[in-house]
Structure 1
Amino acid sequence: MTTPHVEIEQQRLLRTAIPGPRSDALHRRKASAVSSGVSTALPVYIERAGGGILVDVDGNQLIDFGSGIAVSTVGNAAPRVVRRVQEQVADFTHTCFMITPYEEYVEVAETLNDLTPGTHEKRSALFNSGAEAVENAVKIARSYTGRQAVIAFDHAYHGRTNLTMALTAKNMPYKHGFGPFANEIYRVPMAYPFRWPGGAENCAAEAFAMFTDLVHAQVGESNTAAVLIEPIQGEGGFIVPAPGFLKLVSDWCREHDILLIADEIQTGFCRTGNWFACEFENVVPDLVTTAKGIAGGLPLSAVTGRAEVMDAVHAGGLGGTYGGNPVACAAALGAIETMKSENLVGRAKQVEAIFLPRLQQLAAKYPQIGDVRGRGAMLAIELVEGAHDKTPNAALLGTVTAHCHSQGLVTLTAGTYGNVFRFLPPLSIGDDLINEGLDILEEAFAASC
């Protein structure tokens, strides 16, 4: 007999300490059954979720400011996603698109070709994870250009596979002890306004000059297949490049017949107040990688790009057993339908309008908040030692995070130096929960500073 779906009341509720006894018991089981290499930021075990609330096994209801790292953008158990998934599961769960294909994969590809920036003819290929999408984008770029070198940026995060670890800038915990890594990867500085030595006002021009000089001297334009960039860096600390930098890089790539790959895995699908973050700079990438928010929580990713680039790969060169699984494709169609019908692009802007003034007020009160940045429902604060000391303050981040967690607010951290709060609420969250969560954040700073 099917258990009927019960709507979750959209309020924070603490029945036990966080974590509670049932979560503690499950965490002991986790320690004896799961590799210790798989860590857990908050050992609270979830049994239901919806809107802006996570319900744990002890009956506590927590406010979600993380969306499973930007995945549950449309909310957990979104009705259109649930309906499409249930229908698809009842039809079939797998055939492998490379063996006997199905319409759902084609429909997702058509939708991505329509949604991603640019009016040119496009093609898409579907995969399982963000890292897999990035790996395949690099494969496609190398196949099309006949070149090998790939340019990545400081503070970048692109995944945990061997190639994407090479592209990722942060050692611990992502790369430490796992080398050697793939070669022909070259790193250049990111236009990071808050930490740019010449000041934020000079950041775009100086970073671009350094970028072009390094590529010319150390790599060679004619050896470069692609430049890979996050329009807003994710794990690196929600770094929004200095205005104009992305456009300069895009124009330079076009001049030298180098492909621009936009990693929109965390920024895509309404998260920043546009369908894709590169739209803020009117940049049209040659290839776009997507994942996370694409399918309402089911594993799916994609590479979408110029038809002539995507079609340059030989038949059989792209694919995978589970890539574009029909159930995940059904979820993606339901998620994108939700984004359109509920105007989640507009909702992301509303979330920003609530969050940003509160974060700025907090920064005005506490000099340890050195920077407030981001777009839409992808916002961050960077913690430092003081008003005139930009030394990263990871210790304060840990203290504030612990307080938030104890009060039933799920928050995420980020940053190369481990000193950034990143805020990624589901776009289904209510305004009252946002404000209550920000009240808890303010209380955490008052108790910690």
Structure 2
Amino acid sequence: MSRETISQSISIVHPISLSHGKNAEVWDTTGKRYIDFVGGIGVLNLGHCHPHIVEAIREQATKLTHYAFNAAPHAPYIELMDRLTAFIPVDYPVSGMLTNSGAEAAENALKIVRGATGRTAVIAFDGAFHGRTLATLNLNGKVAPYKQKVGVLPGPVYHLPFPSKDNGVTCDEALKAMERLFSVEIDVDDVACFIIEPVQGEAGFLALDVAFAQALRRLCDEKKILLIADEIQSGFGRTGQRFAFSRLGIEPDLILLGKSIAGGVPLGAVVGRKSLLDTLPKGGLGGTYSGNPIACAAALATLEVMTDEQLKHWGVQQEEAIVGRYQSWRARQLSPYLGRLTGVGAMRGIELVNSDGTPASKQLTQLLSLARDAGLLLMPSGKSRHIIRLLAPLTIEPAVLEEGLNILEACLAALD
């Protein structure tokens, strides 16, 4: 199967061609089976082809495959927004809009905060990833490969260190950097918003420091700055609860959604304070495909499956399996390259480091190949591409999870 017609600027982690999948397993076009710890990069929290979602897609496809909501509203969009806003665990009135992707949600959030505040400056964080569109590129917390060769990006955007126990940056260090930023770079009164991931994904599943999150919320309240939580990867049960911001003891003003919102069908959303979502003039928000009826049906089915009880059960089950196995590997000194376990809940990363503490990027590349040959798909992350992202479906069968961890264990032990 030729790939000459596909842009060579698209980077491929696993040079295989998949044909089908079921829950946490996929098969390539040669018939080889793999256990999937990638999950479409966090899109498949409910696994491949969840029967309830597939049936919802099938049923909706016989009724209405598309209508542009801003031309004429349709029932699936309206029903989903009612269910989705009720699913957001905050105490204020919520409204929102649907988008085609997480990146598009971020783009629209920037428009909303500009309209609401009359300010343009945005503060993001080192290691952040918010998308590949032009405005979101500038929000991302690293240059390579996202910002290379594309010239001047929309701004102004400033970056601060991301405080986390997983990267060694303390709350005090981040607050001092913020103090310097407002002293040297920009007046705090010119800042429209902060945008932050409660758990950074691309950076290697780094969990935000709780004290910093609460200090940031207080600052935003004091200075009338809006706080955007990017829950595109950490949301919809990835950490074992609906959204990761809940563990921080704060409520963001806007929340970005995507990835696992619709079981693999392209969909995203911006939700938050109703007063903010109503700021722009009529026509300021919208889109042709945004909130496609089939995607809405898939999202409604997803929300029906994602009860709090189920999320807690899945999250605890997966967390206990991963943490327990990791602790066993550490105790047995399975590999000299085994570093820290990052993240929270079922959103976990495993760091590979050399004896001097530097990133073991070469060994991670080797691990990807060894695991793939053994029937396990893994996803790299981290600034130096040295952290394994574990994104198995929350619905993975315990026996399949154990099989995948067994493969990972054998491959870690084989690293040279």
Q: Same fold (TM over 0.5)?
A: yes
Q: Which AA in structure 2 matches 1:251? A: R
Match of 2:314 in 1: 347
Q: Please report how far the alpha carbon of residue 360 of structure 1 lies from its aligned counterpart in structure 2 after TM superposition.
A: 2.7
Contact kept? 2:241, 2:308, Cα under 8 Å:
no
Partner of 2:156: 184
State whether structure 2 residue 249 is matched by structure 1 residue 282: yes
Q: What secondary structure does 1:261 align onto?
A: strand
The total of aligned residue pairs comes to 414
Structure 1 residues 287-302: aligned runs within 5 Å: 287-302=254-269
Runs of 4+ in 1 over 6 A off after TM superposition: none
Query: Per the alignment, in what secondary structure is the counterpart of residue 385 of structure 1?
Result: coil
In 2, the alpha carbon distance for the partners of 1:216 and 1:116 equals 36
User: Does the 8 Å contact 1:116/1:288 carry over to 2?
Assistant: no
Alignment partners' CA distance in 2, 1:52 and 1:344: 16
Q: Does 1:38 align with 2:38?
A: no
Cα pair distance change 1:325/1:204, threshold 3 Å = same
2:326 matched to 1:368? no
- CA shift, 1:211, in A, is 2.0
Equivalent in the alignment of 1:22: none
Distance 1:266 1:194 in 2: 17
Aligned: 1:152 with 2:121: no
Given that 1:363 and 1:371 are in contact with CA atoms closer than 8 Å, whether structure 2 keeps it comes out as no
Cα contact 1:271–1:345 (8 A) shared by 2: no
Q: TM-score, normalised by structure 1?
A: 0.89
8 Å contact kept, 1:272–1:349: no
CA distance in 2, matches of 1:42, 1:53: 15
1:68 aligns with 2:68: no
CA contact (8 A) 2:204 2:342 kept: no
CA spacing shift, 1:343–1:270, aligned 2, 3 Å: same
How far apart are the structure 2 equivalents of 1:109 and 1:205? Answer: 39
The worse-fitting range, judged by mean Cα deviation, of 427-436 and 241-250 is: 241-250
Q: What secondary structure is seen at the aligned counterpart in 1 of 2:307? A: helix
Flag the 1:338–1:147 CA change in 2: closer, same or farther, 3 A: same
Residue 88 of structure 1: aligned partner: 60
The CA deviation at 1:259 is: 0.4
Task: Give the 5 Å matches for 1:216-255.
Answer: 216-255=183-222
CA spacing shift, 1:110–1:216, aligned 2, 3 Å:
farther
Structure 2 length-normalised TM: 0.96
Answering whether residue 136 of structure 2 is matched by residue 169 of structure 1, we say: no
Q: What is the RMSD of the two structures over their aligned residues, measured on CA atoms?
A: 1.5
- Aligned to 2:290, which of 318, 323, 344? 323
Aligned equivalent of 2:99: 127
Secondary structure of 1:91's counterpart equals coil
Letter aligned with residue 182 of structure 2: V
Give the Cα separation in 2 of the matches to 1:309 and 1:215: 25
Which of 380, 385, 389 pairs up with 1:413? 380
* 8 Å CA contact 1:360, 1:372 repeated in 2: no
Share of identical aligned residues, percent?
39
| Equivalent position of 2:347 in the other structure | 378
1:116 matched to 2:79 = no
For 1:257, the aligned partner's letter is K
Give the distance between the partners of 2:183 and 2:266, measured in 1 at CA.
39
Answer whether contact 1:339 1:345 (CA < 8 A) is retained.
Answer: no
- Confirm or deny: 8 A CA contact 1:369 1:381 kept in the other structure: yes
CA displacement 1:34-75 (0-9 Å, x = unmatched): 111122211222222112110222221110111100101111
Per the TM alignment, residue 194 of structure 1 is displaced from its structure 2 partner at its CA by: 4.3
Q: Counterpart of 2:354 in 1: which secondary structure?
A: strand
Instruction: Give the CA deviation at 1:367.
Output: 4.0
The amino acid of 1:87's aligned partner reads E
Counterpart amino acid of residue 445 in structure 1: L
Paired letter, 1:90: T
Cα distance in 2 for partners of 1:293, 1:423 equals 15
Change (3 A) 1:269 1:216: farther
Cα distance in 2 for partners of 1:44, 1:362 equals: 29
Counterpart residue number, 1:207: 174
Counterpart residue identity of residue 156, structure 2: E
Retained in 1: the 8 A contact 2:368–2:378? Answer: yes
Q: How does 1:2-41 map to 2 (within 5 A)?
A: 26=1, 29-30=2-3, 32-41=4-13
Residues 208-252 of structure 1: CA deviation (Å, up to 9, x unaligned) = 232243134312121000000000001011111233221111121
Offset at residue 173 of structure 1 (A) = 2.1
- Separation (CA, whole Å) in 1 of partners of 2:137 and 2:70: 28
- Give the CA deviation at 1:420: 0.7
Does the Cα contact within 8 Å between 2:126 and 2:162 map onto a contact in 1?
yes
TM-aligned CA deviation for residue 441 of structure 1: 1.1
Deviation at 1:273, TM superposition (A): 0.9
Q: Is the contact made by 1:53 and 1:64 (CA closer than 8 Å) also made in structure 2?
A: yes
Residues 197 and 208 in structure 2, CA contact (< 8 A), matched pair in contact too: no
Question: Within 2, Cα distance between the matches of 1:348 and 1:174?
Answer: 32
Q: Distance in 1 between matches of 2:391 and 2:128?
A: 18
Structure 2: distance between partners of 1:374 and 1:341: 20
For residue 341 of structure 1, report the CA deviation from its aligned partner. 8.3
1:360-411 Cα shifts (integer Å, max 9, x gaps): 332341342221111222100111112xx22111011111111001111010
CA distance in 1, matches of 2:399, 2:52: 24
Q: Is the 8 A contact 2:122 2:155 kept in 1?
A: no
Partner of 2:366: 399
Shift of 1:80: 1.5
Alpha-carbon distance in 2 for matches of 1:131, 1:339: 23
Report the equivalent of 2:305: 338
Q: Which runs of 5+ in 1 are unaligned?
A: 1-25
